[in-house]
Amino acid sequence: LLPGSGEEREQLYAALDRIPSRERLILKLFHFDGLSYKAIADVLKMPVNSISPLLLRARDSLRKEVGIP
């Protein structure tokens, strides 16, 4: 369960809906489903060394959407 009020969670989920689908997927796989980089690489059929930069980009996109610099 995410911390914060119900309204904060709704804002987070709305922000997730506004980022690119691939970035949203990698965030969900890592943070919500708890998959490892290797497991995410297997799901996305990409090299494991591509996961870290993609996850970083996804986090940056999400931060921008929720207004965190």
Question: pLDDT tens-digit profile of 46-67?
Answer: 999 999 999 999 999 999 998 8
Asked whether 3 and 10 are in contact (CB, 8 A), the reply is no
Given a cut of 80, is residue 4 above it in pLDDT? no
Tokens 């990409």 sit at which residue? Answer: 46
34 Rama class: left (phi>0) / alpha (psi -120 to 50) / beta: left
Report the sign of the C-alpha dihedral through residues 10, 11, 14, 19, in that order. Answer: negative
User: pTM for this structure?
Assistant: 0.84
Residue with tokens 């290797």: 38
Instruction: Burial-class residue 13 by CB neighbours within 10 Å (0-12, 13-18, 19+).
Output: exposed
Instruction: State the pLDDT at residue 23.
Output: 95
